[in-house]
Every structure is written in structure tokens, then in C-alpha cells.
Structure 1
Amino acid sequence: MTDSKTSVIPLAVTLGDPAGIGPEVALRAATRPGAPRCVLLGERATALRARDLVAPGLDIVEISDPGTEVPEASLPLIVTGKAPAHPYGQVSAAAGQAAYDAILKAIDLARAGAVSGIVTAPIHKEALSAAGIPFPGHTEMLETHGGVREAGGRVAMMLANDEIRTVLVTIHVSLKDAIDQADFEAQMRAIRLAQQGCRAFGIAAPRVAVAGLNPHAGEGGLFGREEIEIIAPAIKAAQAEGIDASGPWPGDTVFMQARQGRFDVVVAQYHDQGLIPVKYMGLEKGVNVTLGLPFVRTSPDHGTAFDIAGQGIADPASMATAMEMAARMVAAL
């Protein structure tokens, strides 16, 4: 790494599912000019295969302490498994377990203060399930193992790009379950974390827009009463706490208003309501931020892309943005 980075605590960068594009975008992003100081976490064979694919001249140095300095033309790797390289583009329990092991190690290091934050490459939900891992995604893993639940807290997912930010009330559940889970407490948690997340981006007085659950935000009760009985009371309670919250706003127009500068963040009721507007603007621009953790965590806004894995053509832009955003958030702490 460069001399300017030697005194900086590194970011932990997990390689994600070994059968996907995570390892190659992680290496590309970590080796670009101006990248934050990073330490990779994953299986040795996976890291070396990605190196041979996208950065043949790079030296991968195995370390055990994230603070270990390595030569400039190299990247440090904390080995979390020594299995042979997994076949590209195939769902497997072994690959799911490999991805999970790296995440758990990254969380341990972050909680110990040995790394400044975590940037996670994409994982595959079917591979996790095949390995018997009881979490559908990173967010749930981080909430359980990151010290949040034992402290009585919860986390929320924020998707952000240069133009809009959104925080989700519910995450990886069916639409039917999302409706049931979008209760008063979930609304309050998302609104509070939306404010905190915006402040982490340097916005002193965030304007929080809360989307409705039903079409036209319920149209005064014609299309459902969740807005009247749950969402509006939560907004009023948040306002009483000093949060600049407003709504409920119709979900089909609130993101347009946020993009035009009326709001700093939108609280969306369920996964696709919040993620489609961000992803439509380009996967290379979006970053996933987990709010409510005692450490910084970001990830690119795309999946494992099994269809192009191993071809060396995956775009590292979102991964690079995730690293840059993590470094900015760490600096703002």
C-alpha cells in the first residue's frame, strides 16, 4: 500500500460468494488509484484466482493482523478458508459457507476495532440456504452478530447514490409479511435511522419523507388504513422527537420529489418500493449502507452475477463507490 495509508486502520473487504463476481470486483476496486487501505477476507484459492483474472502482477500477502503493513504493489489477505476454488456460476453450500465465514470474521474484527469498517462483496441467498445458514442476507447477519440485538437495537438498510437515498422499513420478507411487519415500532426505527444515516453523510438537518404503503398513500382510507392508523402516527411521534419527518407520501411520486431536492431521504415501506428507484438509476451508482451498527458497513448495489463470473468483465464501479463511501463515513465518525 502507499505510504499515505500506512497509519490508517484498514477497511475489511469480504470477497463474497466465490462463484460470483465479488472477488474480481473487490480486487479491481481495492487496487485502483486512490483506493482506501483495505484488507481482503476470504478463501486463499478464491483470492488467487481473482488475482490471476484481473490483476496478474499483484502480490497477495497472507496476514493474521489487519494492522500488518505489506509492500506497496500488494494486497493483504486474511484467510478464512482453504478449500479449492469453487466452480464459477454455480450455487453450492460450500460457496455459501465460504462467504459466511468471511463475513463473520469481518464482524469480529470490526467489533474489536481492528478494522475501521466493512465492505462486503455480493453473496447468494440460495447458497447460504444450501449451507444451512439461517439468514437471507448481510443485513440480518450483521444485526445478529454485530452486537445490535444484544444491545436491544435493530438495523435498517439504506440504499444511496448521488441523487437519492432510501431507508427500508422491512427488508427480506414476502410482501404479505412486509405488510404485517410495517408496524408503528418499525416505522419509528426506520425514521430515526434515516435521520442518523443522513447525518453520517454530513446533512445536519435531514428532511425525511415517509412513503405510504398503499396506492396514493391510501387515498384517505379508500385503499387501506395503514397510513391513517400506523404511518401518520409514527410521523407525528418522530416530529415530536425533533425529526423533520413528513408524509405519508404516495410511493409513485415521492422519489421523484427527493431527486428534485425536496427531501434528503425517503423511508420506504418494503424492499422493492425502495430499491427499484435507486437501481433504475444504475447499479454502478448505488451503495447499500447498514444503519444502526456500531461500525460502518457498505456494499455494492448488485448481486453475484453468476452469468458473467470468471470472465473478467464485471464492472467494479459500485464496489469502488462502496469503499469510498465507507472511508468517508469512517472519517466523519
Structure 2
Amino acid sequence: MLKKTAGAAAVLLAAALLLFPRQAADGASAGISTCLGVLVPSLFPFLFLTVFLIKSGLSSAIGACIGKPFAKLFALPPAAAPAILMGMLGGYPTGSRGAQALYESGELTAEQAERLLLFSVNGGPAFICTAVGLGFLGSVQTGRFLLAVHLLSGLVVGVLLGLPHHRDKTPPRRTAAWPSLGSSLVTAAHDAASSMLLMCCFVILFSTFLCILQQFLSGKALAVFAGVCEVTLGCRSLANVLAPLWCVSLVLGWGGLCVHLQVLQGLAFRVRTGRFFLCRAAQGGIAALATLLLGERFSVKPALPPVVDVFGSLAQSRPALSGSIAAGVALIILCAAMLLDSSGQQNSVV
């Protein structure tokens, strides 16, 4: 049944590409610009550094120095400390790459790697402070506040996940010797480049179909749908319709289906998709609640920029086709199919 539904969704999306070729091209171009201007400069160095620290064994040395507080808070081995820090500073997919590298190196069990991934899906300072705060909301102070709330909510989720495991005495899995620094350097560059390419592909794909969807939806409806699907366009759309700040905080914590696909693809350990989505919703909810409670106290009021279309090149008149969201529903169905399929592949690996 799922395959038939996904097939029908693929046909609808193919039809959308044929009916709106100019919009599809503009969306793909906007996605490529986002990748080259935002994702690659801000994420690739962190992806490389995270994998290199773990593959070279340096994370174990760092964890021995600073890992005890992390072990007590999250019930994870000290070697996970660098991956947790990189997951907080590097951007959404960095934490998952760290969890994957720690599992492959034998530093974490499959269960520990899954828990690390569940609370390490965080936006980085470059994205939240610069792109969202200054670029979309017109206020660096608001961006800093959103970053603090976002990271705090992720830490709360991590602490809650670790509560049942503080008495676990799981021995470390690692038995093999660490590779040389040169080999670790090459491996880190290869892994980071592969992950970066996959991320960019998803961003371009979502940007393409969200641009087509703009022909059918506008205003708040488009902002809500964009927030569910893609975090960058979601935050920008919410800023354009002057949505409350807690809505932006909710989208940042949720992360968007595009980020979810980036995070869950290519993992060697099992991640239960239901638990993953529950943690994403919990982090978004905690962040939104904290924004509601603390935003007024800290007098956080974004200086919103002039309202513009999400895709500036499409600021022309739209056809009178309001009401149909078939292409958008098809995109969500395909995402669900890919996530469930990746979960099944992970079950076969573990």
C-alpha cells in the first residue's frame, strides 16, 4: 500500500514538474544558491572536523578531559562530548554524522548512538543568528535569543532521554587500533563531502517543489507548509507573514522533513522513526514554550524586514489556482515513504 501511494505521489510530482517548468527551474536555482551561499560554507568545516576528531581518536582524548559532565547529564560515554558540542555548534546534520562516526569507531553502542542523534539535531549559530535573526527577522539579538532557547530545548530532550540509562554499565565496544592521522584526514574529507552532497540534493529537491507549491498557496498556509517541510524557507515564510516569534522557534526545533531526511539517511545503526519524530516535536514544543515565557521578559522584539515573497524571482502574478495542494501532499507522502524505507534498511543492518 505504501509503495502504491508513494508511486502515485511521484506521478503527481512529475506532473507538477511538467506543468510548471519555469517555477521548478527557479526553485532549483534558489536551492543551489542556498547550498552554495549558506550550507557548504557553514556546515562542511564542522562535518569534516567532527568526523576527523572521532576517526583519529582525538575525541577520546578530549572526552577524557571534558566528558564527565556530559556523561552525567546524558548517560553517554565521555567520548561523545565532542560530537555533542559539534552537534550544538555545527548545524542540523552534524550531530548525526558524529553519532555515525562514533558508532563505526566502536565508541558507542547502537542504542547510545540513537540517543545521541535524537537530541543532536540542532541549528548552528551561523544559521540561527545570521540567517534567521539578522536576515529574516532583522535583529541579531533575536537570533541570539532563538539560538539559546533552541540549544536549551535540545539539552532538555537529551537529559530526559538519558534518565532511564544512568545505571547502565555498558562496556565500550572499541577493540581495534586507531588509524593514522593521515588516513583519518582522508576519511573525514570523504565522509564530509558525501554527506554535504546528499544534504544539498535534498535542499534543491524541496526548494523546487515548494516553489511550485507557491502557485497554489500563499501567506500563512504556505508558511505553515514550508515550516513542516524545510526549515530555512519555513522561517523566512513565517517572518514574511509576521508570525509570532514562538512559531519561528517551533520550526527551528522541529527542523523540517528536509533536515530529517538528511539526518536519517546512510546510518549504520537503527533509529526508530516514531521516537525520532516525537523528539523533534518535543524539542520544537519546548523551544516554543520557552520563547512564549521568556521572550517578553527579555524584551525580544524582532525588527521585521519588509515582507517579500519566499522566492524573489516569483514576485509576479500567480494563476488563479488557489485551493489545490496535491503536489504538496505528494511531497510529504514521498518523504514518509523514504523515512520508513530507511528505517527498514537500518533494522536489517543491526
TM-score bucket (shorter structure) = under 0.3
Q: TM-score, normalised by structure 2?
A: 0.22
| More strand by percentage | 1
Q: TM-score, normalised by structure 1?
A: 0.23
| More helix by percentage | 2
